[in-house]
Chains A and B, each alone.
Chain A
Amino acid sequence: MQSDVLQLDSASLFRDDQLIFNDISFELKSGDHLIIKGNNGSGKTSLIRTLCGLTQLTEGSVLWNHAPIDAISSDYYNHLAYLAHTNGLIPELTLLENLTYSLHKTDLDKDHSVLEGFQLKQSIQSPVATLSNGQSRKAALSFIIMSGKSLWVFDEPYANLDSQSIDYLNQRIAAHLSNNGMVITSTNREEVIPTTNLEITMS
């Protein structure tokens, strides 16, 4: 089984003169789950965005299989699925339409189970704008899960989720990890997420 590795190498981020984070390093291998903890405004989202290549680091680099992600972005994005604060769903389209036109490769027949697990099956024909915050969040999560990508990056996925959905999400994460996937999660709460084996605390 091939093992991928994501490395962050002495990364620092300055925005103009403001220090966001300084000298962070980690190594994430297949089967690892990294959790990034910190209060609001501690730089979690900025760190995650640099891992996705959306924000440029001031110092240091992000390496995927020992190559900087700037050089191999197409290959890296083949493995990356990212959930931001916004859901990435188009509110005017229905959930089904979002799936159909989704830019992740999805196999609708195989993965209906995810939508059932999040109790979204019945809302599949509703425009996303009519769903509640929690439901939209769950829909966005299910897109990531159904995408078939190996590295999942979640920015505060547990916000707006009821406890049943939180359990289901943890189940799916565990299944993904045992399937040689990698997960990065950020959270501002103190809860313990069972599957994590790496931790970074932002200050």
Chain B
Amino acid sequence: MNIYQQLFLRDLKVSMKRWSDLLTGIIMFILVAFIFPLIAGSDQDFMHRIIGPVILLSSLLASLISMQNIFKPDLNNGSLEQLVLSTHSLSGLVFIKILSYWISSSLPLVVVSSLIASAYYVTGIDIAKVMLTVLLATTTLVNINSLAAALTLGVRYPGALMTLILFPLSLPILMFGSKAIEYSILGMDISGPFYFLTGMMLLSFSLGPIATAFAIRISID
């Protein structure tokens, strides 16, 4: 078993043990999506209009609230330093970390989004399209989150910084993601937004780990 597989399995195992941290994001996701109809009205047309933005915003807030869990625990127990001192490329190791973090933090969101979609009166194949949108959008979001987390590793109260870094960079994903969901419900052609989301996913998974690795080296210095 090579080192990347080892790191992947190790991180998955560790996030299972840290399940209460994962729950933070999922709960935020559910509650934000839940609160909207309660306070804004719940007739079907309205809910079909807002489900796109609501789901994307919920994903963003969920990722924001759990951002520090990506690297902070490993920094505190010293395993992040040991990763930097490994003979293998730090970018590769960070890629694996981000991938396993995406699986443990965002795949549950994909599953939960199906429930939220049906609560928002979405039916049939459209629910699958909503899930696919969340799947694609969160891949880019997790990379942006990792970069922001790595940059703010050494900062004591990074709250304002995390928000300020995260929001502008994730805006295109939010826009195209909510458009994708809206088009799905209206039965229109969804290929445009989905191509964009896929493209951003590829871009962020190729550049994200490199930038994040660089940021980790700086923060550890």
Contacts and interface: CB of A to CB of B under 8 A. Distances in A.
A52 B79 CA distance: 15
B81 A88 contact: yes
A84 B77 CA distance: 10
A101 B221 CA distance: 25
B82 interface: yes
Interface residues of A, number: 24
B221 A55 contact: yes
B6 A103 contact: yes
A103 B86 contact: yes
Contacts of B87: 74-75, 77-78
A85 B77 CA distance: 9
Interface string B36-74: 000000000000000000000000000000000000001
Contacts of B7: 101, 103
The secondary-structure label for the interface of chain A is loop
B78 A88 contact: yes
Interface residues of B, number: 24
A183 interface: no
Interface stretch (B10-18, B148-156, B183-191): B10-18
Contacts of B82: 82, 88, 103
Contacts of A92: 14, 17-18
A91 B77 contact: yes
A56 interface: yes
B14 A54 contact: no
B85 A54 contact: yes
B86 A77 contact: yes
A84 B220 CA distance: 13
A87 interface: yes
A97 interface: yes
B3 interface: yes
A54 B78 contact: no
Contacts of A97: 10, 13
B17 A82 contact: no
Interface string B96-133: 00000000000000000000000000000000000000
Contact of B85 (A77, A86, A101): A77
Contacts of A56: 221
B161 interface: no
A168 to B, nearest CB: 22
Contacts of B13: 93, 97, 101
Interface string A145-157: 0000000000000
22 contacts: A54-B81, A54-B84, A55-B221, A77-B86, A77-B87, A82-B81, A84-B78, A86-B76, A86-B77, A86-B78, A86-B81, A88-B82, A90-B14, A90-B74, A90-B77, A91-B77, A93-B13, A97-B10, A101-B7, A103-B6, A103-B7, A103-B83
